[in-house]
Structure 1
Amino acid sequence: MASSPTQTQDRTLSENIELSTQENCQIDSVPSKRIHESVVISLQRGAWFLNARPTEGRQLLYVSLDQDVVKFQCGPAKAIYLTDITDVRYGWKTDTFGETTRKKNDLRCGFRLKEDCCFSIVYGSQRHTLDLQAKDATTAQTWANNAAGLIEAIRARSSSRSDKSEWLKRAFKEADTDRSGFLSFDECCRLLSNLNVNLETPKVGKLFQLSNTNRHRERGESVLDEKEFLHFYNLVSERKELTTLFQNCAQGDANLSGNHLAKFLNKEQEMKHADLAYAQRLIERHKLQNAIQEMTLSEFQSMMNSPLFDILKEEHLQVNQDMDQPISNYYISSSHNTYLIGDQLMGGSSIEGYVSALERGCRCLELDLWDGPNNQPIIYHGHTKTTKLLAREVLAKGIKPFAFKFSPFPLILSVENHLSFSQQTIFAEDLRQIFESALLSGPEEVGGMKSSLLTPNQLRGKIIIKATGAKVCSPALLSLLNICRSFTNFEKYEYHNTRHKSACYCVISMSELEASTYLKKLTADVSTQNFTCRTMMRVYPTATRMASSNFNPVHYWNFGVQMVALNFQTLGKNLEINIGRFRRNGSCGYVLKPDWLLGKIERIPLSGKPRKILLMRIISGQNLPKRPGQTKKGQFYVSVRIEGHPLDFYKFRTNYLMNGNGLNPFWNEKTETKICFPELAVICFSVKYVDAYKIKQTVGSYCLPVESLASGYRHAPLSSADLVSSIFLYVKMIDL
């Protein structure tokens, strides 16, 4: 641990707390039922913490928990809501607590940090961190261990579109600027505008008065409390398409009986297991009124907005494919330059890049290794001005705690090795010390010489090292390369393959442009047509993509390329396609390739007859977030795109809807297409906003394999900043 200047070395944290005159800082949260009441009470009382990354003039923060929403307040109020928090980590597990940064902060702040007293809150899409040190280890452990439960409780309640209460409570509190606990009519109108709801003022006024049941008044005006506002928004956001669907299902009755619900589930939703008993369980699950044994309109709307009626098949939420085939038989979710959180020349490097990729199911991470000071390997994009990370801290803090948190299947570390001989040995020792038994090492673990690779199930919980780069490899590092021995191009692999036998299995690694050249050869040369059946291949972005843009991975998947590495820090269509592809198998990072890419037939089909007809009706959108500069002259539309085999490429878009109302735009437009190779096809739904100058902005999108489409009336959740945004549509797949 770094030392502090002599004159401040003995100063304790508690003494500094007593000297503090800073304004209170508090975090409000919803306590989880699993947390003991006494713990909740102690957290509500609050405690002082040292900000490990202090801003000028503010080093000490007061933190406490309340009953409603999470927010971190200092002075005028900066809010960190619980739904924005992605992780809470005990100890030194963020960039702020990295060795180099920690030393700088120790010197600047005048006191030393203690690892057992520290924890971090990670929040926001940019993965900001609030890094704190408590006065003792017990306080830090209490907060770190229980905050995860608090987060889980509120996120579970707000993750379903059927319960918008947490989202609306947050909006209510942000609109209540004077903290009176009420909103006036004008404040409600401004809030609706911020929520992208544009309705005529007389209609809003009528619904406001209907909701003002308690007749509260402030400064002579009628106002709504929080509960009344929730009712007001439900009236404003009434969905006529669900009302019509309910009436059709009920066949003229006031409520929906179990028999009618079972018929709807079987006929429209194609849920063949849905008998009367199942329908009655659904009625009970969504029951709002205990007096009747049938489903009301409100309960039906709640059910239709639940995850059970999302567009992704329920069985595909879990691992559902055979995981006992060689790993070369799978597509593997892969990242390029995982450490970067910006561009390739000046961008920052962060262990959060690794954590974020792992959270999204990535199973192949990249480490660019270079010689560092004090004989410690570092990670950065060589010969650029990107920032540097200590390799051992990336391994210990960014990879080890999360390696198997989101998927149990093998994690591949793709090492770009620019290390000297001596630092290769140090890095190999770091791998062994940090990963211990999780590290796949030694030929005895892979059974010596085998005719095929091990399976994901056999490699559960194992970390595999793949390395390229150095001309001379340290024996210590070479001993770890027993599954994935990397070659930088096809000719080198063929040269090695015809002259040597090795216990290592080969991986061809090349850029997207190099790969395109060689893949053309595969289609013409019969002797190499099954190349990716027996050999692993990794394709990464070309060096000209300095802004960290991504290429379309579909072309390479069509040839059976297992590892198509993308820049996970760059959101957009191509990364969405990648994330969508891996939804097929529980987002575990491994998806089984189609039969013809496993050598079970002679060659990749270049033509074929349609096997499916996909029928869709794009009905409506829900709670679309407001775009910068949006006006009533703006327009929304839905774009549908299918990528896969060239024969299956398809595009469709709805008409533009005027007035820029994002509450519940209604299209109700039909489309259909024939599909020859559904195993390869990925379908992408996007909502776009067009302004008065015809400039298009993506509001949100959702991608998934065509094979994963659930039938019937479904919601596609959008990858927007708003958790409750979605598209409502009808889907039917017909076999030919």
Structure 2
Amino acid sequence: MDNTLEMSTDISMYDLKQGIESIAEELYNIQSFNNDVILDSYDIDDYDHTQLEIDIDFQKYKSGLPILKISSKGKSQKKKLIFDLEKNQIICGKKKKVNFSEIDEIRVGHKTNIFNQFVSRSKDEESKKTSFSILFSGNLRKSMDFICASIEERRIIVSALYHIVQDSKSVNNEYNFVKKEWDSIGKDTIDFSTLKKVLARLNFSTSDVVLQGLMKFTDTNCDYHLDFSEFSNLLKLLRSHPELKPVFFKYAQGRTDIIPIHGMIQFFKEEQKEEWTIEMCKNLIEKYHHERLDYISFENFEEYLTGDQNLAIYPRCNGVYQDTTRPLTHYFINSSHNTYLSGHQLKGLSTSEMYTYQLRQGCKCVELDVWDGNDGDPIIFHGNTLTSQIKFSHVLQTIKSRGFETSPYPVILSLEVHCSIPQQIIMAQHMKDIFGEMLAMPLPEGSKEFPSLESMKFKILLKGHISKTPGSSTSSSSLGSLAGALNTSSTNFSNEASSSSTTTTTTTTSTSGSNYTTDDDDGAVDFKNDEEPDIKSSSSSFSLGSSKKKPTKEKVAPELSSLIYLVSHSFKSASNTKELPCYLMHSLSEEKVKALVQTDSKEMIMASHEHFFRAYPKGTRFDSSNFDPSPGWSIGNQMIALNQQTSSEPMWINDGMFTDNGGCGYVLKPPCLLPEGCEGFDPSSPERAPLSKYSRLIVTVISARQLPKYTKTTKGEVIDPYVTLSVYGSHYDQKTEKTRVIDNNGFNPHWGEEFEFPLYNSQLAMLLIRVDDKDKVGHNRIGHYCIRVENIRPGYRMIRLKNNFNRSIPLASLLCKFRFEE
């Protein structure tokens, strides 16, 4: 049976007339879903670009304004800058077109990788105050970079652009969405045929009989055409949730049009598992009715349940609410692998923008693969591959300026050093000059516990190798003996580096792609064992498919060693690790982590109380794919380093974990992994964990609204959506369920299907929800959402679906009901 027909029969004439009597603007929340553009001009001048203090001649921008555009290679080019307000685009050159709504950020000054290249080529520092860049949607962090003729011109252009982009993004709210669709029709009224085409574009298709009935309901003057107000009412009707009527009537206490306050209190207690007072109910009623009444209507009841106050995640999770006084090792840390890459491991683009992007996403452990630069200055790239190169110092500047925008908690730099000794010295000089007192100095010898998260605010921690690994053949006192090395020799850094670099062979890079080295702990290819080698020689290499050639060991400069806070150390066993000083840490391959879950999980959990463990993807993931982070978390691994430039289920699970605790990048491990609660917990056991809060999760997938087409356009067929629910976590918390497919309806599909998930340890369980379109050739993802199971609010809850770049899809939502058994 047609799902839309089922829905329409639930809509009474009373509901319809009530909607028709409303003015179109009052039907929608005009402030919903706004996503402001970021404006960064903090270190250039104090001019407020958000205020239009100058009259702007938009006609001038329509015809084109002369400007200098910086190319991807850092060269300046004379171009025309055009604001095409009709097509909603900024244009600069034949192929450079970007929709205003896709612009995420406007930066004033030299603040992109392209400007770094420009300054390196031209030595033009003076243009900083007349320059600006726009960055647009996507994890590639592409930019368009410009130099204006004067500071005044830059102020006018940036102010105009800021307001145009803000206006363009406002279509992400409900009313402007309707207005945009109406304006695109270009007529004062529309007939049945036009309406059918418009709705198909909006992902809604139904029989002519049903659509004629809907049109008749909203055609108030019976002229067989719809004007804007009538069209608005029809879309409002389609966006409504008649499937909520049964629960509304259940608590209406005999009424058909309202729920009295006592019924509301009963609803919140029985369905939502919340304790509401009379005063709380009156405040809620006043918010939607705009007056203090003793009841709530269905329309306002529905508006609350489908609004942002009723999201599936507990509101507390939106801020830092967890204990921050515990040692650093007691937290999961949002970590990235090959942070500098925006795509493929062998031929992708290396860019400092990826550090900005990932740090703003809450990442707190980033990776830097450092190699000798031909000009004597270290560079970052995926060694001996076709990936591009960026200056080490430029990346440090980005990390300093962006590392603490999301939260004040420490940033960990995982250094994979392939440099010669002279350029290691320059590395150390750069880090001291740029970071200064932000650098955390090594812990005292023999330390058994890290300082607290709270005490390490605004600190940068370096992870890497030192010249002699303490705890093996040399005592940990070697760290102490190196502690003053940097200070005593800092004045000689530049001279020593310059005199030595003339006799040092720089990095040999292969452009053919047939021969290249393992360029980090993790390995570019999967030929290494699971133990982390010492620092790699920049000249060691081997061929794909050949037998492994052992990398040549090379000294680490004392100046660099003296800065290392987390010392890389080969892993032997969890019991061995427990005897080592806490600052020695291990990097483990994804395969090693899976094996340890099965063979040594309890010991690993104990070792992770004082020591750091980092997991990384296997080397054969050339396409930057990822692995499930759940096994590593289940044995206490703090850093699961993922290719965060790649959208995939593992990354969605990672996002679900680190959405918690305000997205600050640090999430306190659950009690089952902490010293006071780990007794008796084994993630590989089929027995329920002693501290598991819930034994069962029951999810009812009710309905969705305004699912987008996967083609990124409004063209193509109306989608056939279905929902997949998956639980990840401990070894036995792995289950997937799917709803049926709804044909030809992405605008308001209804499922009403219930699924049960037994839980062995709800503390570690994650729920991943994804919506896909089933078509003739396969399945296409529409949106997703992931959440820690113990962060789910029971009852009827709203979910905002996310896209590949971890951003909410405008207006797209899923309504579910959640129940738990303890």
TM range (shorter): 0.7 to 0.9
Task: Give the Cα separation in 2 of the matches to 1:284 and 1:153.
Answer: 30
- The aligned counterpart of 2:478 is none
- 1:559 aligned residue: 635
TM-score, scaled to structure 2 = 0.73
Matches within 5 A, 1:581-596: 581-596=657-672
| Partner in structure 1 of residue 339 of structure 2 | 338
AA of the residue aligned to 2:352: I
Q: Could you tell me the TM-score, scaled by structure 1's length?
A: 0.81
Instruction: Summarize the alignment of residues 139-158 of structure 1 with structure 2, pairs less than 5 Å apart.
Output: 139-140=153-154
Please tell me whether residue 390 in structure 1 is matched to residue 391 in structure 2. Answer: yes
Q: Which residue of 1 aligns with 2:756?
A: 672
What's 1:286 paired with? Answer: 288
Alpha-carbon offset, residue 598 of structure 1: 2.3
Aligned partners of 2:794, 2:250: CA distance in 1, in Å?
A: 18
- Superposed, which structure 2 residues align to 1:466-615 within 5 Å? 466-468=463-465, 469=535, 471-482=554-565, 484-487=566-569, 489-491=570-572, 505-517=583-595, 520-523=598-601, 530-600=606-676, 601-602=678-679, 604-605=681-682, 606-609=685-688, 611-615=694-698
Of 792, 806, 810, which residue of structure 2 is paired with 1:723?
810
1:5-44, aligned counterparts within 5 Å? 38-39=52-53, 41-42=55-56
Shift of 1:355: 1.9
CA distance in 1: counterparts of 2:745 and 2:167, whole angstroms:
32
90, 98, 121: which is aligned to 1:72? 90
Displacement of 1:333 after TM fit?
0.9
Supply the distance in 2 between the matched residues of 1:569 and 1:240 (Cα, whole angstroms): 40
What's the CA shift for 1:364? 0.5
Match of 1:655 among 734, 737, 740: 740
Once the two structures are superposed, residues 691-726 of structure 1 have per-residue CA deviations (whole angstroms, 9 ceiling, x without a partner) of 235x22222111111111111101222123732222
Cα distance in 2, alignment partners of residues 435 and 418 from structure 1: 21
Alpha-carbon separation, structure 2, partners of 1:149 and 1:408: 30
Distance 1:509 1:77, change over 3 A: closer
Residues 612 and 678 in structure 1, CA contact (< 8 A), matched pair in contact too: yes
1:231-242 correspondence runs (5 A)? 231-242=233-244
Once the two structures are overlaid, the 10-residue window that deviates more, 572-581 or 312-321, is 312-321
Over the aligned positions, Cα root-mean-square deviation in angstroms equals: 3.8
> 2:458 maps to what in 1?
461
Does the 8 Å contact 1:49/1:63 carry over to 2? no
Contact 2:577 2:611 survives alignment (8 Å): no
Mapped partners of 2:221, 2:66: distance in 1: 42
Contact 2:88 2:168 in 1 (8 A): no
Give me the whole-angstrom Cα distance separating, in 2, the residues matched to 1:584 and 1:711. 17
Q: Secondary structure at the match of 1:425?
A: helix
Identify the residue that residue 16 of structure 1 maps to in structure 2.
none
Deviation at 1:196, TM superposition (A): 1.0
Give the aligned partner of residue 114 of structure 1: 127
Alpha-carbon distance between aligned partners in 2 of 1:380 and 1:54, rounded to the nearest angstrom:
21
From 250, 258, 265, the counterpart of 1:255: 258
* Matched letter for residue 707 of structure 2: L
| Equivalent position amino acid for 2:740 in 1 | N
* Residues 495, 147 of structure 1: alpha-carbon distance in 2 compared, 3 angstrom cutoff: farther
- Secondary structure at the residue paired with 1:374? coil
Q: Report how far residue 180 of structure 1 moved.
A: 6.8
Q: Could you say which residue in structure 1 is the equivalent of 2:725?
A: 640
How far is 1:520 from its partner?
4.9
**One-letter code of the match for 2:708?**
P
| 8 Å CA contact 1:466, 1:486 repeated in 2 | yes
Does structure 1 retain, via aligned residues, the 8 Å contact 2:51–2:159? no
Q: How much has 1:140 moved relative to structure 2?
A: 3.3
What residue is the counterpart of 1:50 in the other structure? 67
Q: Would the alpha carbon gap of residues 260 and 152 (structure 1) be closer, same or farther in structure 2, given more than 3 Å must change?
A: farther
Alpha-carbon distance between aligned partners in 1 of 2:49 and 2:231, rounded to the nearest angstrom:
30
Comparing 661-670 with 255-264, greater Cα deviation is found at 255-264
- 1:702 pairs, out of 780, 785, 806, with 785
User: Structure 1, residues 95-151: CA drift from partner, whole Å, max 9, x if none?
Assistant: 32122x5667x79xxx99811111222121243323222332344356658977886
**Cα deviation, residue 730, structure 1:** 0.6
Query: Following TM superposition, by how much is the alpha carbon of 1:75 offset from its aligned partner in structure 2, in angstroms?
Result: 9.7
C-alpha distance in structure 1 between counterparts of 2:635 and 2:407, whole Å: 25
Residue 277, structure 1, aligned to residue 279, structure 2: yes
CA distance in 2, matches of 1:254, 1:580: 38
What is the deviation of 1:378?
0.8
Match of 1:9 in 2: none
- Structure 1 equivalent of residue 150 of structure 2: 136
CA deviation map 1:265-287 (0-9, x unaligned): 23211222x21211222222233
The percentage of counterpart residues that share the same residue type is 27
Find the aligned partners of 2:656 and 2:210 in 1 and give their Cα distance.
40
Compared with structure 1, are the counterparts of its residues 630 and 573 closer, same or farther at alpha carbon in structure 2 (3 Å cutoff)? farther
For the residues of structure 2 that align with 1:730 and 1:284, how far apart are their CA atoms?
26
More deviation, 298-307/617-626: 298-307
Shift in CA distance, 731/478, structure 1 to aligned 2, threshold 3 Å: same
Q: Which has the higher contact order (CA 8 A, sep 6+)?
A: 2
CA pair 522-139 structure 1, distance change in 2 beyond 3 A: farther
Which digits, 9 at most, give the CA deviation of each residue in 1:309-362, with x for residues without a partner?
Answer: 111111112122111111111111110001111110111112222122122211
Instruction: Give the match for residue 265 of structure 1.
Output: 268
> Contact 1:509 / 1:538 at 8 angstroms: preserved in 2?
yes
Corresponding residue of 1:734: 821
Residue 436 and residue 152 in structure 1: after superposition, are their counterparts in 2 closer, same or farther (change >3 A)? Answer: farther
Look up the SS of the partner of 2:325 in the other structure.
coil
CA distance in 1, matches of 2:572, 2:181: 60
Please tell me whether the aligned partners of residues 698 and 820 of structure 2 are also in contact (alpha carbons under 8 angstroms): yes
Distance 1:303 1:113, change over 3 A: farther
Q: Which residue of 2 aligns with 1:5?
A: none
- 3-state DSSP of counterpart to 2:572: helix
Q: Deviations for 1:160-214, whole angstroms, at most 9, x for unmatched residues?
A: xxx52244444445x34xx678767655433322221113345445655766779
Please give the alpha-carbon distance, in whole angstroms, between the structure 2 residues aligned to 1:215 and 1:58.
Answer: 58
Is the contact between residue 583 and residue 705 of structure 1 (CA under 8 Å) also seen in structure 2? no
Distance in structure 1 (CA, Å) of the matches to 2:572 and 2:749: 55
Counterpart in 2 of 1:296?
297
Q: Is the 8 A contact 1:69 1:82 kept in 2?
A: no
| SS of alignment partner, residue 481 of structure 1 | coil
Residue correspondence of structure 1 range 324-363 to structure 2 within 5 A: 324-363=325-364
CA contact (8 A) 2:784 2:803 kept: yes
Give how far 1:669 is off.
1.1
Is residue 643–residue 683 contact of structure 1 (8 Å, CA) maintained in 2? yes
C-alpha distance in 1 between matches for 2:391 and 2:95: 35
Give me the whole-angstrom Cα distance separating, in 1, the residues matched to 2:287 and 2:656. 30
Contact 1:31–1:40 (CA under 8 A) maintained in structure 2? no
In structure 1, the partner of 2:412 is 412
Partner residue in 1 for 2:204: 197
What SS is found at the alignment partner of 1:278? helix
* Partner Cα distance (2:245, 2:59) in 1: 47
Q: Distance in 1 between matches of 2:212 and 2:156?
A: 48
Equivalent pair of 2:672/2:681 in contact (CA under 8 Å): yes
Partner of 1:13: none
Distance 1:30 1:181 in 2: 33
**In 2, Cα distance between the equivalents of 1:729 and 1:493?**
42
Q: Confirm or deny: 8 A CA contact 1:332 1:589 kept in the other structure.
A: yes
SS at match of 1:699: strand
Residue identity matched to 2:641: A
What displacement does 1:654 show?
1.6
Please name the residue that 1:164 is paired with.
174
